[in-house]
Amino acid sequence: MKARVTVTLKNGVLDPQGKAIEGALRSLGIAGIAGVRQGKFFEVEVEAADRAEAEATVKAACDRLLANTVVENYRVEIA
Amino acid sequence: MKAAVIVFPGSNRDGDVVRALRQAGAEVSRVWHAETALPAGTDLAVLPGGFSYGDYLRCGAIAGRANAMDAVRAHAARGGLVLGICNGFQILCESGLLPGVLMRNVNRRFICHRQLLRVERTDTAFTRAYGERQVIDVCVAHGEGNYYADPETLARIEGEGLVAFRYCDAAGTLTEDANRNGSVNSIAGIYSQTRTVLGLMPHPENFVEDLVGGTDGRGLFESLARAA
């Protein structure tokens, strides 16, 4: 089974990289961009009997390593 | 004082911290990250600076889950001393031994320069050799040293007096200019609740010889050497 994990910074946490990208887009002349927040995306191959088990495995992976929940949120989708 | 310096793949300041500890009179051994125990009689575990695991995923994230870190956690739980410098501070935050997180510097640049710090308290095993509110001259070299903790955690850190060092100017004043990485409350280093674990971004081990620019870092290692 495939899982897709998206890790994003929590609201209110400063994102200097997102700000730099936003500035770069502006300097490229791409209009209409109000803000950029940078995150991370993981594709995880899971061995599990069913979706619930796969989701539990990937959530454990997020809590223990993939995300730092002090400043990051994560979202898991099982494909 | 028996110190164990943990070496991870990508640690590169272990040699300097070993030297600074020996200069202060400590007996030092190196411990590879895959080890599951610290040498018998270890008083102090040290996580040196560097780029463990190439800073992959997040700085200190993978090292924070290494075998040796279970041994460091057990050592800390017994009241043993732990010191994390730069990447070592990031590892302490990632491993849950210290609260908060080190984010990308607010100016988005790797900063590498001399840095003044204010010693916030001198009643700990790490700072006894310094004077009250002494301003010390050391170095910083990092891209992710912007200390952040949520408001509730920050209030607890401040309320319990767990800030070890703050970025300051020559008069000891906390200015925006002195706080180049953008850390909350100009925090350069913090203690655990028991003040037996210290993490700091600056490098006291850089300044233990006049030959290389200064000796203000010695106080930290001399304090530790006296502690056990």
> Which of A19, A65, A71 is facing B61, going by the closest CB pair?
A65
For the segment A38-74, what is each residue's pLDDT rounded down to a tens digit? 999 999 999 999 999 999 999 999 999 999 999 999 9
Other CB atoms within a 10 A radius of the CB of residue B161 amount to 13
Q: Is the pTM of this model over 0.90?
A: yes
Q: Is the per-residue pLDDT at B228 higher than 80? A: no
Beta strands in B48-184 (DSSP E): 81-85, 101-103, 111-119, 135-142, 146-148, 163-167
Q: Which helix (H) or strand (E) holds B227?
A: helix B218-227
Q: Closest chain B residue to A39 measured between Cα atoms? A: B57
Q: Which residues of A touch B148 (CB under 8 A)?
A: 13-14, 70-71
Q: What percentage of residues in chain A have a pLDDT greater than 90?
A: 87
Q: Which CATH architecture has domain B2-227?
A: 3-Layer(aba) Sandwich (3.40)
The secondary structure of B148-172 as a DSSP string is E--HHHHHHHHHTT-EEEEE--TTS
d(CA B98, CA B60): 13
d(CA B89, CA B105): 15
Q: Which residues of A touch B101 (CB under 8 A)?
A: 68, 70-71
Indicate yes or no: CB of A17 within 8 angstroms of CB of B104: yes
Could you tell me the sign of the dihedral formed by the alpha carbons of A19, B202, B163, B135, in that order? negative
Q: Which residues of B touch A39 (CB under 8 A)?
A: none
How far from the centroid of its chain's Cα atoms is residue B7's Cα?
A: 15
**Domain ranges (residues) in chain B:** 2-227
Q: How confident is the model at residue B105 (pLDDT cuts 50, 70, 90)?
A: very high
Hey, what's the torsion of the CAs at B10, B11, B15, B16, to 10 degrees?
Answer: 130
Assess: ipTM above 0.90: no
Q: How confident is the model at residue B43 (pLDDT cuts 50, 70, 90)?
A: very high
A:27-66 residues touching chain B, CB 8 A cutoff: 64-66
Q: Is the per-residue pLDDT at A16 higher than 90? A: no
**In the predicted model, what is the mean pLDDT of chain B?**
97
Indicate yes or no: CB of B103 within 8 angstroms of CB of A70: no
Note the maximum CA span of chain B: 45
Q: Which residues of B touch A17 (CB under 8 A)?
A: 104, 108
d(CA B83, CA B100): 16
For the segment B110-160, what is each residue's pLDDT rounded down to a tens digit? 999 999 999 999 999 999 999 999 999 999 999 999 999 999 999 999 999
**Contacts A–B by Cβ distance under 8 A:** 38
Q: How far is A68 from chain B (nearest CA, A)?
A: 8
pLDDT of residue B145: 97
pLDDT of residue B50: 97
All residues at 6 or more sequence positions from B182 whose CB lies less than 8 Å from its CB, including other chains: A14, B105, B106, B107, B146
For the segment B55-96, what is each residue's pLDDT rounded down to a tens digit? 999 999 999 999 999 999 999 999 999 999 999 999 999 999
In 3D, which of B101, B84, B99 has the Cα closest to residue B46? B84
Q: Is the per-residue pLDDT at B28 higher than 90? A: yes
pLDDT of residue B73: 97
pLDDT of residue A14: 84
Q: What percentage of residues in chain B have a pLDDT greater than 90?
A: 97
B142 has catalytic annotation: no
B94 has catalytic annotation: no
B59 has catalytic annotation: no
d(CA B93, CA B56): 16
Retrieve residue B12's tokens: 């590169």
Q: How confident is the model at residue A25 (pLDDT cuts 50, 70, 90)?
A: very high
Average pLDDT value for residue range B17-35: 97
**Domains, in order of start, for chain A:** 2-78 (3.30.1280.10)
User: Exposure of A37 by Cβ count < 10 A (0-12 exposed, 13-18 middle, 19+ buried)?
Assistant: middle
Indicate yes or no: CB of B104 within 8 angstroms of CB of A70: no
Active-site annotation holder among B86, B93, B139, B168: B86
Q: How confident is the model at residue A3 (pLDDT cuts 50, 70, 90)?
A: very high
Q: How confident is the model at residue B218 (pLDDT cuts 50, 70, 90)?
A: very high
Place of tokens 């509110």: B133
pLDDT of residue B108: 87
Retrieve residue B222's tokens: 């001399």
Q: How confident is the model at residue B227 (pLDDT cuts 50, 70, 90)?
A: confident
pLDDT of residue A53: 96
Place of tokens 């400590």: B26
Retrieve residue B74's tokens: 């057990």
Indicate yes or no: CB of A16 within 8 angstroms of CB of B107: yes
For the segment B175-202, what is each residue's pLDDT rounded down to a tens digit? 999 999 999 999 999 999 999 999 999 9
Q: Which residues of A touch B104 (CB under 8 A)?
A: 16-17
d(CA A26, CA B113): 31
Rg of chain A in Å (alpha carbons): 16
Q: Which helix (H) or strand (E) holds A26?
A: helix A16-27
